[in-house]
Structure 1
């Protein structure tokens, strides 16, 4: 059994949904669990609905949601004919779930309403895909993932209850595979013990695929994207960027840690635990090999380049020329933790501590204000943090040319350079 995950870009038009069907035709007679994301940009649109509702702008929220409804109903007209009435009724049920909420006044925290509204994206898109495939004689069963993935009620960052989720998946998914080769469900969402919708946070759909793969002991997971595979750099940063055919779980986690837009580490762990290969393939050029991620450590990886722009360097200097260590530093890190801002690079000197962070203006200002009672604080903005894994002298020189190096750290595998334009 395989697990496929289709992201928003792969289903954001009728043509793309037809392409999904073509991909599945190539895997006839294989058992596949399919995880579907919301259509491209739909999560953003639903976020705007939530923001309007929570701000007390009910009319705006309903108007924005009406546009989302019409987008899906229009797509349904292209995708489904024979079962159009049944499909429309299913969509209307999901629309009603949201509209009931939008007619109320917000009395709970924003994150609660976010999850109740945003979860509609995956439910709507997966319903359309399922009906379309059945009409094309690519027979499948659709299931609401909220009946399977049990979570706590940490809205927007829900934590999966693995024992309950395992039991539900085994009880409900395995019987479906005795009736059909394809089961369709949703990524990114789950539900709490109170049957309230929850979402799983960043890259939640990839994580959903990994959870199913782990529990169902899948032979592999494939994430279908609009890129060739995992590249050694963003092509916008490095025009000569190349696809990396093989990566290890560990390497992908390292890349994500330094800011590469690859697979989120939380997706990797359930796969690593059972040594399940993860394939990243292009749904546009599916004949390309893509990237496979396993427990093996491939040799001769190319330099892997990650840029983090809009960085700020904060210098914390002791007020009395004492060494920067002990309680003052611990207090500083507590401040960062409370403000929820993460250092991207740190470096100690005798009486100074240098911390590079994303320049989130209100957070940086708060850090500076709270730390100024302990340290003299200085800021430098408009910096770029360059990370190169498996670096060569040639790449370092090329990528730092005409830059002033502010800070530099180097290990055997990784170099990080904080730099400014000359």
Structure 2
């Protein structure tokens, strides 16, 4: 004998019921002996509660709700049963039943009251209607089905709304009934009866319990719970998109999962099955061939320590603390007895070995009652000051990792806390039993989704990781970065186990945030059509509120306003990658504050592209210093635009023509004075100085100007070029003076000791910068180890491709750090 149960979502519509009929026809054709339990049609129980509440409130709209309820069932009969006597018989019987419900609701309306006892009777009409209609439908296709009202066999006490089952009487009644009936029994879930024939219910989710009770009473071969998901998943799929089915788990693991919020298993269901050692299968009505999850006494795969991750969405944590608890026998008994007498259920308990404090979690609605009960029992100690007033923390959640094999594998707790820590999630309290069947952590409620995803990656997808990117600036550099990500994502998934998901983007006009991911193939269309007006504060706020694991903020701009948000972003445990030099070249105190904050929050603040675009300049400098080398001197051509200008200033073309050419090719800023002033290069040498540990400010960098008088003060860019043209002789003389000595002109930044300067220098063939070409940057490190022959880093120092590639490389490094 097999006992099958189909839930409300499985019987929500006539077409779904037809799918169930097909499943049962296959069972019948294979010769399986089975019985089937059905819930009410999807949404009907809520509808019955609604109409009862309206009636009890004296609101005659309950009649409209009833009419919709009755019509839904009559429509189902018309769709499921062919015309003829069977349809007529079914419609008549359901109409009579619903007439009783109508009169009952009218009585509620008159007395303005719906007691728990009345509500149990009202709710029974859901399962009784669905099960009877499905029984008749099965008969119409040739399956010998018989309707069984579970009130005939399941016996309970009179605790209406959630009755306690009398197992001995129930099992005896089940065995007796089934011994006298040979047809396939179609049974109402959820409902039962107490002494005197009073209708009771088994609590929400009670249809699963009905199936388990029948299975235990019949010593069934298996119990199958058919629902709308493919078994028990590693986590809630609504919150963890990459959750997958657990093929096999033990009763104990399933109980823990259900206790911590896994909705697919109703907790009492497991006890009868466990007692009789009956395997329980969780299967998907809409994927009947999928094996689902088997719950039994068999041990799960020993190679998998954690079987699932679950959570309780909302709890309050109460803490009783004080020196008066230390070493006092019976303290815990006093506390928990007082809570029990107040009818308060405790979800989690944790106590330090010093016994100085006891913390326990309860439902939020029970928090005030629990506090009063605890303070009453310790009133004497609180008055003496040896026990503190009870501390109540609200807006918390519990996440738990569950698995019987955790005890066999060391380091499980370490991985849990590492995953939480790297995502900035604070553990408010921790509980772990000696059996290590679960490790539970109380965390801020706002971090629940992030924690579930971070832990799921840590324990089930340790060879893969999703990085959530929020990108500001999708112009030349940003769009190039997106193109590089699009081309490389498949490689990253296959070789590095890393997936980059763009969940936010913004330019100066539009912004778009989508936690499910923005289609990188059509991001421009999505931004233009679905984006809202750009507002940086709102964008950062949405990024913070999304609270996604492994979040990275990418700033591809040079906007000082965006840099003002860095501190808040890092404080939210979000890593940053940026070519924007504003934050690292502002005040030294702010520079240190950002780096310290990143370290404190366990995230990354990366700005390699601040100096040398995609060249490994800062990382090389850090490697030298970390390995114990001492920096004597740093020299560099640190501007791709200035490199292009001076590399091409060979006397054949006027200086102004070369600058105009560089501007037209996009090498310079729209106003070339930003480059030619040396300020940008000054910011870069300032950053390198700070990386060596020198507490330098921007005014400490000496900028030696070379432009003719009046050029920097020109009213417009056009006027600036006019002055350059007028001063061609001045520039030609600069070139000639250098060329006469066999030298060339280069804009060079120098850091020696604690002195930094930027200026145009005439250098000879022996100088490493002499042979520069194109827009190359070159940085020369003279150190204790690289004294006679300095270490040189050279390559393209400007351009969207190399800058975007540098940012891309940093994103990957951040991803590896978060692994």
TM-score, structure 2 as length reference:
0.48
Any conservation in 2 of the 1:58–1:102 contact (CA below 8 Å)?
Answer: no
The structure with the largest alpha-carbon Rg is: 2
Partner of 2:141: 136
Q: How far apart in 2 are the matches of 1:249 and 1:128?
A: 34
Partner of 1:38: 40
Partner of 1:103: 106
Among 392, 398, 405, the residue aligned to 2:427: 405
SS at structure 2 position matched to 1:113: helix
Following superposition, the deviation at residue 84 of structure 1 comes to: 1.8
Partner of 1:47: 49
Partner of 1:88: 91
Any conservation in 1 of the 2:367–2:392 contact (CA below 8 Å)?
Answer: no
**1:368-411 CA deviation, whole Å, 9 max, x = no partner?**
34434425022222222211124634454334521122222345
Matched, 1:156 2:161: yes
What is the RMSD of the two structures over their aligned residues, measured on CA atoms?
2.4
SS at structure 1 position matched to 2:164: coil
Matched, 1:333 2:336: yes
In the TM superposition, 1:192-231 aligns within 5 A as 192-231=194-233
Moved more, 302-311 or 71-80: 302-311
Partner of 1:315: 319
Following superposition, the deviation at residue 60 of structure 1 comes to: 3.5
Any conservation in 2 of the 1:252–1:262 contact (CA below 8 Å)?
Answer: no
Matched, 1:75 2:67: no
Gaps of 5+ in 2: 383-388, 407-411, 448-571, 573-819
Moved more, 287-296 or 97-106: 97-106
Partner of 2:395: 382
Q: How far apart in 2 are the matches of 1:99 and 1:140?
A: 28
The number of residues matched between the two structures is: 415
Following superposition, the deviation at residue 2 of structure 1 comes to: 1.2
Q: How far apart in 1 are the matches of 2:65 and 2:158?
A: 27
Any conservation in 2 of the 1:245–1:290 contact (CA below 8 Å)?
Answer: yes
SS at structure 2 position matched to 1:409: strand
In the TM superposition, 1:227-266 aligns within 5 A as 227-266=229-268
Any conservation in 2 of the 1:58–1:103 contact (CA below 8 Å)?
Answer: no
Moved more, 331-340 or 118-127: 331-340
Matched, 1:416 2:416: no
Following superposition, the deviation at residue 144 of structure 1 comes to: 1.6
Any conservation in 2 of the 1:54–1:110 contact (CA below 8 Å)?
Answer: no
Partner of 2:5: 5
SS at structure 1 position matched to 2:181: helix
TM-score, structure 1 as length reference:
0.90
Matched, 1:354 2:355: no
SS at structure 2 position matched to 1:405: coil
**1:319-357 CA deviation, whole Å, 9 max, x = no partner?**
x74538556654432443244332222223544322222
Gaps of 5+ in 1: none
SS at structure 2 position matched to 1:149: coil
Partner of 1:292: 294
Any conservation in 2 of the 1:5–1:222 contact (CA below 8 Å)?
Answer: yes
Following superposition, the deviation at residue 299 of structure 1 comes to: 2.4
Give the 3 Å change call, closer, same or farther, for CA 61–326 of structure 1 in structure 2. Answer: farther
Give the 3 Å change call, closer, same or farther, for CA 42–228 of structure 1 in structure 2. Answer: same
Moved more, 15-24 or 158-167: 158-167
Following superposition, the deviation at residue 106 of structure 1 comes to: 4.8
Following superposition, the deviation at residue 209 of structure 1 comes to: 0.8
Any conservation in 1 of the 2:4–2:37 contact (CA below 8 Å)?
Answer: yes
Partner of 2:21: 21
